[in-house]
Amino acid sequence: MGTFVSSKLDGAVAVVTIDHPPVNALSAPLLEELESELELLDADDGVRAIVLEGAGDRAFVAGADISEFPSLREAAQEGGSARGIQKLGARMDAARTPFVAAIHGFCLGGGLELAMCCDIRVASDDAQLGQPEIKLGLIPGGGGTQRLPRLVGLGRAMLLNMTGDFIDARTAYDWRLVERVVPRDELLDTALGIARTIAERSPHSVAVLRELARTTRDLPLEEGLRREADGFRRCLESEDGAEGVAAFLDKRQPQFTGR
């Protein structure tokens, strides 16, 4: 168990809990620990889906650790850059394992950027989401100017980024920022249910889907369709593809291995 991050297995699903009271702020040590934990889980063939949650009642993650910003400013003046969340997001993008975010309470700044790195987001009805960096004279630095408009559209992203205002869970659902909204006491069970369903599918096919989602979203339709056809061929030629077709014809449940 780490200082800020812990994980537990629920069958083929890993539940990763961020625990940094009082609001689970993303400090540099926490980000390093979270990246290491996710890397270990992604390398485990027995883990087929990962759920991210925040500990406590107040927040999924309420943002970056602002107390570290003065040192980041000094690093920037010396030619460095503050890319901790971007680095973590890139690692999550490259993972074979899908991610489901279970969002409650505050999901702000770096917390929303972390949630946007996940494939699917489930929010409780008490969730508040936003990018408040503008209130500090800053802009989002962990993907908020790039991932957010790809999810909700440019105008809505600019509204959040330029005002720093929060939106509630129902608005986030209407804007397609989250995929489900549920009562607070159903949040983890709902996220786990989605993760368990994904874990039953072919890991090989899930990885191909994640690859296509990441690499084709800004391509012309013709090129995207070409890559989709190539991905379909790779799945069809895989052991999982052969098993899935055989299981369907034999009227039995498939036994996927990820190969």
| Contact present, 199 and 45 (Cβ < 8 Å) | no
The separation between CA 101 and the C-alpha centre of its own chain, rounded to angstroms, equals 6
Angstrom distance (rounded) from CA 152 to CA 112:
13
Q: How many helices (H) does the chain have, and how many strands (E)?
A: 11, 10
Q: What letter would DSSP give residue 188?
A: H
3 state SS of 117: coil
| Contact present, 87 and 153 (Cβ < 8 Å) | no
Q: Is 69 exposed, middle or buried (0-12, 13-18, 19+ CB in 10 A)?
A: middle
Phi, psi of 210, rounded to the nearest 5 degrees = -65, -40
Q: Which two tokens stand for residue 73?
A: 């400013």
Taking alpha carbons only, the member of 143, 140, 110 closest to residue 34 is: 110
Taking alpha carbons only, the member of 30, 85, 18, 3 closest to residue 58 is: 18
**Catalytically active residues, by annotation:** 113, 133
Instruction: Give the pLDDT of residue 110.
Output: 95
Instruction: Give the pLDDT of residue 199.
Output: 97
Taking alpha carbons only, the member of 30, 39, 41, 32 closest to residue 3 is: 30
- 128-130/166-168 β-pairing: antiparallel
Q: What is the mean pLDDT of the chain?
A: 93
pLDDT value at 55 more than 80: yes
**Model pLDDT for residues 117-146, shown as the tens digit of each residue:** 999 999 999 999 999 999 999 999 999 999
pLDDT value at 82 more than 90: no
Instruction: Give the pLDDT of residue 108.
Output: 97
Query: How sure is the predictor about 79, in pLDDT bands with cuts at 50, 70 and 90?
Result: very low
Beta-carbon count within 10 A of 203 CB: 23
Angstrom distance (rounded) from CA 29 to CA 86:
15
The separation between CA 80 and the C-alpha centre of its own chain, rounded to angstroms, equals 26
Angstrom distance (rounded) from CA 24 to CA 103:
12
pLDDT value at 78 more than 80: no
Q: Which two tokens stand for residue 257?
A: 């291995």
Share above pLDDT 70 across residues of the chain, in percent, rounded to a whole number: 94
Taking alpha carbons only, the member of 140, 142, 100, 144 closest to residue 123 is: 100
Q: What letter would DSSP give residue 131?
A: -
**Model pLDDT for residues 207-253, shown as the tens digit of each residue:** 999 999 999 999 999 999 999 999 999 999 999 999 999 999 999 99
Instruction: Give the pLDDT of residue 65.
Output: 79
Enter the pTM of the model.
0.92
Instruction: Give the pLDDT of residue 73.
Output: 53
Angstrom distance (rounded) from CA 99 to CA 48:
9
**Model pLDDT for residues 151-190, shown as the tens digit of each residue:** 999 999 999 999 999 999 999 999 999 999 999 999 999 9
**Over residues 42-52, mean pLDDT:** 97
